[in-house]
């Protein structure tokens, strides 16, 4: 028992040292009290909570009513609760693996002062190079398309305020705006953005709820879902995507002064997110029913008012923030590839990051329909990145008795045995592989291809109302 006790003491000492370093940095910053220090430097538990909650719901809030029109009210609510708690579980697994990896590396005197740990590095350190390659491929592709979705959503939303420019032109404009995120160094610097982002999403969610209820049910409203298997599983995978926003979990943890306190943060963020997603999606589906099947953006069915315009503008700002959330891990990967990750100059790093934004911009112009893309990304990428890989990685990391005995983080109080954890992890892997990737992949790709066939690539204005020509004057 003595070696184990010594190991535990070494881990505690490591965290205490990290905490002291963080506090020393804080004292250095606080000695020069300024608004910059308050708004810019964040690493507390509250910062992490705001980052997780803000990152979970952005443009997907506008597509959940569309998902309800495919699933039906009951299935929509149940899938949200089910995938919300499942996502919280796998975020917990990722946090456990991060702590395990970091403690092992710091025992070897590895210094992370100028290095941001990422998910693929955790997999590499715990399971080897093959897992690193798998994690890197899935994570980067998911974040790439997540960023693409933000750009498409920006163009879709602003069109409801100003339709003098088509959506493709707005995509050009917002691509240039979102490129400015290259100047935000890391997740330490998202304090004010996360706070504002969640406030904006909260307003939008409650606007959708109240507007749907005040509008009332449209004449002859129909609630025929679920009607087709393709639509049903497309909607389910969109919700899978909704609660799969923790491709940036490791980066958010690394930005914390006490990353070991992260374990329950994602669950608490998810519980808050439920108060936004469930009422808004249910109210909109109740009011508009099957009309939502042809309107993947909920704004398109609501009348133009100052409240709706305010919601659109706030969502635009939040999508800019979420673009930064999705792109920052990609920036880190690219910096490491070209050897610029340790560079302290913000301008030099920003210049080095620009090549990451260009393909995202281009893809947003090719595929301008974010509703179907959400489902495709959910089925093909989120299912592995967020659910399957963390569950498998946790089982393999602790497959040996010695690894379980020396684990930095023991099983949680509500599931105190390793056997119980293996059962839950196995269930997650099997369910998500069969239902999320299997049925969801088939349904979402069928729907996606149908959208491409109908509207074509490089669509100038996807789902825009057709303008009627003015009548000719009578002579």
Q: Read out DSSP for 379-424?
A: IIIIIIIIIIHHHHHHHHHT-SHHHHHT-SSPPPTTS-SHHHHHHH
244 or 232, which is more confident: 232
Give the pLDDT confidence score for residue 192 in this predicted structure. 81
Which CATH number covers residue 243? Answer: 1.20.1740.10
Give the pLDDT confidence score for residue 458 in this predicted structure. 61
Whole-angstrom distance, CA of residue 75 vs CA of residue 234? 12
Whole-angstrom distance, CA of residue 201 vs CA of residue 276? 8
Structural domain boundaries, residue 410: 46-455
Lowest mean pLDDT among 75-84, 178-187, 459-468: 459-468
The answer, yes or no, to whether residue 167 has pLDDT greater than 80, is no
The answer, yes or no, to whether residue 180 has pLDDT greater than 90, is no
Q: Measured between alpha carbons, how far is residue 357 from residues 308, 331, 419 in Å?
A: 30, 9, 44
In a domain, 191, yes or no: yes
In a domain, 13, yes or no: no
Return the top range by mean pLDDT from 26-35, 144-153, 275-284, 310-319.
Answer: 275-284
Q: Which two tokens mark 336? A: 């490491």
In a domain, 175, yes or no: yes
In a domain, 197, yes or no: yes
User: What band does 475 get if pLDDT is binned at 50, 70 and 90?
Assistant: very low
Return the top range by mean pLDDT from 109-118, 125-134, 141-150, 216-225.
Answer: 125-134
Lowest mean pLDDT among 59-68, 84-93, 369-378, 391-400: 369-378
Give the pLDDT confidence score for residue 430 in this predicted structure. 96
Q: What percent of the chain has pLDDT over 70?
A: 84
In a domain, 467, yes or no: no
Q: How many domains does the chain have?
A: 1
Give the pLDDT confidence score for residue 28 in this predicted structure. 42
Give the pLDDT confidence score for residue 429 in this predicted structure. 96
453 or 252, which is more confident: 252
Helix (H, G, I), strand (E, B) or coil at 272: helix
Lowest mean pLDDT among 209-218, 247-256, 272-281, 414-423: 247-256
Q: What percent of the chain has pLDDT over 90?
A: 27
DSSP category for residue 109: T
For the segment 447-459, what is each residue's pLDDT rounded down to a tens digit?
Answer: 777 766 665 566 6
Query: What average pLDDT does the structure give for the chain?
Result: 82
In a domain, 139, yes or no: yes
Lowest mean pLDDT among 52-56, 160-164, 291-295, 338-342: 160-164
User: What band does 5 get if pLDDT is binned at 50, 70 and 90?
Assistant: very low
pTM: 0.84
In a domain, 39, yes or no: no
The answer, yes or no, to whether residue 82 has pLDDT greater than 80, is yes
Give the pLDDT confidence score for residue 444 in this predicted structure. 79
For the segment 371-391, what is each residue's pLDDT rounded down to a tens digit?
Answer: 566 667 777 888 898 899 999
Is residue 273 within 8 A of residue 57, CB to CB? The reply is yes
In a domain, 85, yes or no: yes
Helix (H, G, I), strand (E, B) or coil at 245: coil
For the segment 16-25, what is each residue's pLDDT rounded down to a tens digit?
Answer: 444 444 444 4
Is residue 69 within 8 A of residue 289, CB to CB? The reply is yes
Give the pLDDT confidence score for residue 57 in this predicted structure. 78
Give the pLDDT confidence score for residue 457 in this predicted structure. 61
Give the pLDDT confidence score for residue 12 in this predicted structure. 45
For the segment 324-367, what is each residue's pLDDT rounded down to a tens digit?
Answer: 888 888 998 998 888 887 787 888 888 889 898 888 888 888 77
474 or 91, which is more confident: 91
220 or 342, which is more confident: 220
Give the pLDDT confidence score for residue 101 in this predicted structure. 92
Specify burial of residue 45 (Cβ count, 10 A radius: 0-12, 13-18, 19+): middle
Task: Compute and round to an integer the Cα radius of gyration of the chain.
Answer: 23
Whole-angstrom distance, CA of residue 286 vs CA of residue 212? 8
The answer, yes or no, to whether residue 10 has pLDDT greater than 50, is no
Give the pLDDT confidence score for residue 34 in this predicted structure. 56
């Amino acid at each position: 028992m003595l070696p184990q006790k010594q190991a535990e003491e070494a881990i505690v000492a490591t965290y205490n040292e990290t905490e002291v370093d963080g506090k020393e940095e804080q004292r250095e910053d606080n000695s020069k009290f300024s608004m910059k220090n308050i708004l810019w430097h964040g690493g507390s538990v509250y910062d992490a909570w705001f980052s997780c909650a803000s990152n979970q719901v952005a443009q997907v809030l506008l597509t959940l009513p569309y998902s309800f029109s495919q699933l039906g009210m009951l299935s929509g609510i149940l899938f949200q609760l089910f995938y919300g708690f499942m996502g919280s579980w796998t975020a917990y697994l990722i946090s456990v693996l991060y702590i395990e990896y970091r403690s092992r590396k710091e025992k070897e005197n590895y210094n992370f002062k100028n290095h941001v740990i990422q998910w693929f590095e955790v997999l590499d350190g715990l399971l080897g190079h093959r897992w690193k390659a798998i994690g890197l491929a899935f994570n980067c592709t998911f974040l790439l398309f997540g960023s693409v979705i933000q750009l498409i959503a920006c163009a879709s939303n602003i069109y409801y305020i100003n339709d003098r420019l088509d959506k493709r032109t707005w995509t050009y404009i917002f691509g240039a705006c979102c490129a400015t995120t290259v100047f935000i160094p890391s997740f330490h610097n998202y304090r004010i953005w996360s706070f504002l982002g969640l406030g904006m999403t909260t307003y939008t969610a409650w606007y959708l709820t109240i507007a749907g209820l005040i509008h009332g049910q449209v004449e002859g409203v129909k609630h025929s879902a679920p009607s087709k298997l393709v639509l049903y599983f497309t909607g389910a995978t969109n919700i899978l995507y909704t609660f799969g926003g923790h491709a940036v979990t490791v980066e958010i943890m690394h930005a914390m002064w006490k990353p070991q306190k992260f374990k329950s943060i994602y669950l608490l963020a998810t519980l808050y997110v439920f108060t936004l997603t469930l009422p808004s999606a249910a109210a909109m589906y109740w009011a508009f029913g099957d009309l939502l099947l042809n309107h993947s953006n909920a704004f398109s069915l609501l009348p133009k008012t100052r409240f709706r315009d305010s919601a659109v503008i706030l969502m635009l700002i939040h999508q800019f923030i979420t673009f930064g959330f999705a792109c920052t891990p990609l920036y880190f990967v690219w910096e490491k590839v070209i050897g610029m990750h340790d560079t302290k100059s913000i301008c030099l790093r920003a210049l080095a990051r620009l090549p990451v934004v260009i393909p995202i911009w281009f893809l947003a112009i090719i595929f301008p329909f974010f509703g179907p893309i959400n489902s495709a990304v959910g089925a093909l990428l989120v299912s592995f990145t967020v659910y399957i890989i963390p569950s498998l990685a946790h089982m393999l990391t602790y497959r040996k008795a010695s690894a379980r005995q020396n684990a930095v983080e023991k099983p949680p109080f509500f599931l105190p045995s390793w056997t119980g954890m293996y059962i839950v992890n196995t269930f997650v892997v099997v369910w998500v592989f069969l239902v999320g990737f299997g049925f969801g992949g088939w349904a979402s790709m069928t729907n996606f291809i149908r959208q491409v066939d109908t509207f074509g690539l490089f669509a100038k204005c996807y789902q825009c109302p057709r303008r009627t020509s003015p009548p000719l004057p009578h002579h």
